[in-house]
Structure 1
């Protein structure tokens, strides 16, 4: 399953909807930054929903790695979230 890091920058009026959308699929690790493993189908769903959400001037960036084994995560400073979707 792909390991995904996704970030968004949307207008204030769409921020709450974007936050809810990304939290459904990924772990919220910092402000508008999310990460976790998704199936290819889940990734396609997330990208389609994000495309429907964004308007002019908004952006969503999705980094998809083949597996979690190919990423290394380093935090400098305070850990603001957890890469685990479980509390």
Structure 2
């Protein structure tokens, strides 16, 4: 599945969350990630994120789609990180 993940955590936990999410997805902008991920890996990511987060103040939002082709993405301005991989 293809996901877009957005988090909002206290600045004390930002680096930990950034490092965790970069292990699973492509970092495209501050606190925003996207990419292909399996159900098992997504569950693992959510479990690890919950250990970092304070559920009273922090949030993690995940948008899911079957495939990236079902997502119409438009970038206005500078793209922070390209997700295209050329081999």
TM-score by length of 1: 0.89
In the alignment, what sits opposite 1:53?
A: 52
In the alignment, what sits opposite 2:39?
A: 40
SS at match of 1:64: strand
Residues 6 and 60, structure 1, Cα contact 8 Å, conserved in 2? yes
Q: How many residues align?
A: 85
Shift of 1:51: 1.7
In the alignment, what sits opposite 1:74?
A: 74
Residues 26 and 85, structure 1, Cα contact 8 Å, conserved in 2? no
Q: Any unmatched runs of 5+ in structure 2?
A: none
Shift of 1:48: 1.1
Most deviating of 30-39 and 60-69: 60-69
TM-score by length of 2: 0.89
In the alignment, what sits opposite 2:9?
A: 10
Counterpart Cα distance in 1 of 2:85 and 2:32? 13
Structure 1 pair 71/30, CA: closer, same or farther in 2 (3 Å)? same
Q: Any unmatched runs of 5+ in structure 1?
A: none
